[in-house]
């Protein structure tokens, strides 16, 4: 299995980047499939709305900020940090699983 020596190696890994994009697209799909509110009700604005309006619902934004979040140096709001942390931790786990499945088998 591949070992990462630093968070910078993780962030530059092409599989990690692909998984971040995939997980962001899953969040978008969940939002699209969200049922319409009942008549007379509405959804409150949340992290998703704020990230879309500011143009930050992109993998480049998540990847740019994850190192500061992992090292606890980020100045983003806790809500946005939580979203980025969720997506990137999930992506890191998926990257490790991918490398574990592709590890070479030693034979005699």
Is 33 inside a domain boundary?
A: yes
pLDDT of residue 108: 46
Looking at the domain assignment, is residue 1 inside a domain? no
Quote the pTM value. Answer: 0.85
pLDDT at 94 (0 to 100): 95
Asked if residue 106 is part of any domain, the answer here is no
Q: How far apart are CA 16 and CA 63, in angstroms?
A: 9
Q: Does the CA dihedral 6-9-91-23 come out positive or negative?
A: positive
pLDDT per 10-residue tile (average), the chain, 108 residues: 83 94 94 92 90 92 94 93 95 92 61
| Cα atoms found within 13 Å of the Cα of residue 46, Cβ hemisphere only | 8
Provide the domain count of the chain.
Answer: 1
Domain assignment present for 41: yes
Q: Taking the C-alpha atoms of 38, 80, 23 and 15 in order, what is their torsion angle to the nearest 10 degrees?
A: 180
In a domain, 46, yes or no: yes
Domain hosting residue 63, numbered range: 7-101
pLDDT at 102: 78
Q: Which two tokens stand for residue 30?
A: 């969940």
Rounded to whole angstroms, the Cα distance separating 57 from 46 reads 13
* pLDDT value at residue 3: 80
> Quick count: other Cβ atoms within 10 Å of Cβ 2?
13
Residue 108 lies in a domain: no
First CA to last CA distance, the chain: 19
Q: Is residue 97 part of a domain?
A: yes
């Amino acid at each position: 299995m591949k070992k990462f020596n630093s968070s910078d190696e993780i962030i530059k890994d092409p599989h990690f980047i692909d998984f971040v994009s995939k997980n962001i697209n899953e969040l978008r799909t969940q939002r699209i499939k969200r049922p319409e509110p009942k008549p007379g009700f509405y959804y409150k604005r949340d992290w998703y709305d704020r990230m879309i309006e500011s143009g930050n619902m992109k993998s480049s934004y998540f990847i740019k900020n994850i190192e500061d979040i992992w090292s606890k140096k980020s100045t983003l709001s806790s809500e946005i940090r939580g979203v980025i942390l969720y997506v990137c931790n999930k992506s890191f786990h998926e990257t490790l699983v991918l490398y574990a499945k592709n590890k070479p088998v030693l034979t005699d």
